[in-house]
Structure 1
Amino acid sequence: MKEKRIGIIMHGVTGRMGMNQHLIRSVLAIRDQGGVTLSDGSRLVPDIKIVGRNADKVAELAKRHGIERHGTDIDAALADPEDTIFFDAASTKLRPELLRKAIDAGKHVYSEKPVSEGLEEAISIARHAKEKGVKNGIVHDKLDLPGIAKLRRLRDSGFFGRILSVKGEFGYWVFEGDWMPAQRPSWNYRADDGGGIISDMLCHWRYVLDNVVAPVQSVSCLGATHIPKRWDERGEEYTADADDAAYATFQLEGGIVAHINSSWCTRVRRDDLVTFQIDGTHGSAVAGLHDCWTQHRVNTPKPVWNPDEPQPLDFLQDWEEVPDNQVFDNGFKVQWEQFLRHVAEDAPFHYTLVEGAKGVQLAEAGYQSSRERRWVDLPDLEI
């Protein structure tokens, strides 16, 4: 079987997300499986170059995973015509400039989200990519998680009837860092460094709601900084002034109402770190990252409110699990394979920088809503 090489510059993959989800479980996994099969039967095999600021970290990571090409000079990497794709998973504050450089160098670009801290800049980058004619994408990883894929399958089958509402719960307790090390980087909790759960998570909820339920039309959001003091990676105390919780209600097309709580200050007593419940006239479903449970209207119990007696019904017993019916690969890897095919043979890829700008638009509207204590509408983006 014929093999075709594709050079990929990967920036920001010494961090947890970039290293685990993108480098190891996606691009290296694709390389180790022999590449991605194209429509002509050939195999497209990634040839990776890692670039980052810390030479020692980059070299150690490259050695550990058998990657020969690595360095700290991004400009030199972008100047190499042998590499086709530039990927970024580093700081949001640095991303707009890096993406512009890559686009100007003629690279196709794929990036983590959010694409920028502000909508105007996100639109500018999307326009720049369009004008330069490079292919581009933004990570929409949750859409290919088994639980979310099952929700979309239920919607497409007509299981819900008319969808009425969506309830989402996301989050867990992120330790402050004093007596127990925090499991998220400290910049997430500093506003000047681009931290904040509204900017981090509302861009996710935009593409989940848009693609699994219905397009988002407006938002009412309240952000909060529940824990104002944390300790960083060196054990030094700092002021945590970024929002660490967000309570958002969304109006969707068709009169659907969605409410999603996002918090790094909550303890989990539910099926997963994120759960979504969709209620419709014909049935309801609850999904986590992997599992999905349904209750059709013919199987819906008929409880009676009586606070004077213990509840006789075990409500969890009245739900049926949705079977896998297929093999679900890693969601990040699936989208990498889609983007590689998009670059190599123009296969369809919907999750462009325009879609990334929509996520930034919702986050920006969420912050505006929280400041002004009002609903904010989302107009169509002109790009």
Structure 2
Amino acid sequence: MTRKTVRIAMNGVTGRMGYRQHLVRSLLAIREQGGLDLGDGTVLWPEPVLVGRRDHALKALAERHGLDHWSTDVDAVLADDSIDIYFDAQVTAAREEAIKKAIAAGKHIYTEKPTATGLAGALELARLADAAGVKHGVVQDKIFLPGLLKLKRLIDGGFFGKILSVRGEFGYWVFEGDWQSAQRPSWNYRAEDGGGIVVDMFPHWEYVLHELFGAVRTVQAHVTTHIPTRWDEHGKPYDATADDAAYGIFQLEGGAVAQINSSWAVRVNRDELVEFQVDGTEGSAVAGLRRCRAQHRSATPKPVWNPDIPLTESFRDQWQEVPDNEEFDNGFKAQWELFLRHVALDAPWHWDLLAGARGVQLAELGLKSSAEGRRLDVPELSL
């Protein structure tokens, strides 16, 4: 076996997502398994170069994981010809300009979403990357989760017949920060810093719907801020200027309707933090992050509405667990491996910056729909 090193500048790796999912559970996990076998006698060895603003934090991470390279000088890292890939997990407001610099430096691009703060900027990134001839990808992790992979298996097998509707519930209670610390950083609740649940979650819903059920053709949303005051990391109160809940209805190509509620001000009364129920003429399924349960037409009960007598059956017990039938890897790691194969072998890949722009478009239209109180068409994007 020949080992080939690919050096990856990881910007924003001191943040929760950049550190846990992308560094530890993806690239370091690939190294722990001996690298990525490309199938041609070559093993690809990812070499992270940690990038951020706080030297002491980067140094501590590097020492913890036995890494040799970190820097607070993004421009110097991008000027290094040995760097092959630029990865961005910064706050959204800083992402667009950093990716532009990386494209200009000829680096392949892999980035978290949203890719930009507006559609115009997201499309510009896609155009610039195509013009520069660099490979580019956007993290779309949820379609690689076990629950949704099982759901995709049902779809591909024709289990549902004609799909009629999709209902999604996402969210949990994020503490305000006064009497218990918040589970999310305070910038998430300040619009001026790029926060808001619509810009965070609608890009996810776009690719989940697009990949599994069909392109989103219309959106109608109601967006609100349920908790107007929160407390930051230093215990100081601040005005929550960004939305913390969004209720959306999406008409999909082919006629199915999706309704997805997203909220950081909801207490969980479901099996997982996100669940999608899919109903079709031949069967239904409920998928979460890991589990997927199904009910076929032939096993569907025949309930009768009668509020005067107590229920004698448990509806949940009438659903069948969809088996794993395979071992599922971490979703972030699985997509990283596909992107690395794309860079090294030009393997098929379609989760590019244009796909990322669709997510930014849906978020932008969702906010506009709520502000104007009407349903909006979602035009097809092209470069």
Q: Given the two structures, how large is their TM-score scaled by the length of structure 2? A: 0.99
Instruction: Find the aligned partners of 2:350 and 2:142 in 1 and give their Cα distance.
Output: 14
TM-superposed CA distance for 1:214, in Å, is 1.3
Correspondence for 2:244 = 244
**Is the aligned partner of 1:298 residue 2:298?**
yes
Deviation digits for residues 196-235 of structure 1 (CA, Å, limit 9, x no counterpart) = 0001000000000000111111100000100000000011
Identity, in percent, stands at: 60
* d(CA) in 1 for partners of 2:45, 2:220: 45
Q: Paired residue for 2:4? A: 4
Alpha-carbon separation, structure 1, partners of 2:51 and 2:379: 38
SS of match in other structure, 1:342: helix
- 1:166-181 pair list within 5 angstroms: 166-181=166-181
1:39 Cα shift?
3.2
Contact 1:11 1:50 in 2 (8 A): yes
Q: Which residue does the alignment assign to 2:202?
A: 202
Alignment pair present for 1:67 and 2:67: yes
The aligned residue for residue 255 of structure 1 is: 255
- Unaligned residue ranges in structure 2 (runs of 5+): none
| Residues 1:119 and 2:119 are matched in the alignment | yes
Aligned residue pairs, count: 383
Inter-partner Cα distance in structure 1 for 2:271 and 2:216: 26
**Preserved CA contact (<8 Å) 1:22 1:333:** yes
Partner of 1:213: 213
Letter in 1 for 2:154: L
Alignment of 1:186-201 (within 5 A): 186-201=186-201
Alpha-carbon distance between aligned partners in 1 of 2:54 and 2:212, rounded to the nearest angstrom: 39
1:106 aligns with 2:106: yes
SS in 2 for 1:7: strand
What residue is the counterpart of 1:183 in the other structure?
183
2:229 is aligned to 229
Q: How does 1:301-340 map to 2 (within 5 A)?
A: 301-340=301-340
Which residue number corresponds to residue 271 of structure 2?
A: 271
Post-superposition Cα deviations, 1:236-273, rounded to whole Å, max 9, x if no partner, equal: 11000100000000000111000000000000010100
Structure 1 residues 33-79: Cα deviation after superposition (integer angstroms, max 9, x where no partner)? 11111131310001111010001111101110111001100001001
Unaligned segments of structure 1, at least 5 residues: none
The residue number in structure 1 matching 2:43 is 43
What residue identity is the alignment partner of 2:286?
V
Residue equivalent to 1:28: 28
The answer to whether the 8 Å contact 1:303/1:313 transfers is: no
Contact 1:282/1:297 (CA < 8 Å) preserved in 2?
yes
Query: In 2, Cα distance between the equivalents of 1:100 and 1:30?
Result: 28
Structure 1 consecutive aligned stretches of length 4 or more whose deviation exceeds 6 Å = none
Do structure 1's residue 148 and structure 2's residue 111 form an aligned pair? no
SS of 1:93's partner is: helix
| Aligned match of 1:130 | 130
CA shift for structure 1 position 350: 1.1
Instruction: Supply the distance in 1 between the matched residues of 2:382 and 2:341 (Cα, whole angstroms).
Output: 27
Q: Which deviates more, 74-83 or 38-47? A: 38-47
d(CA) in 2 for partners of 1:201, 1:366: 11
1:222, 1:369 within 8 Å by CA — same for their partners in 2?
A: yes
Q: How far apart in 1 are the matches of 2:365 and 2:151? A: 26
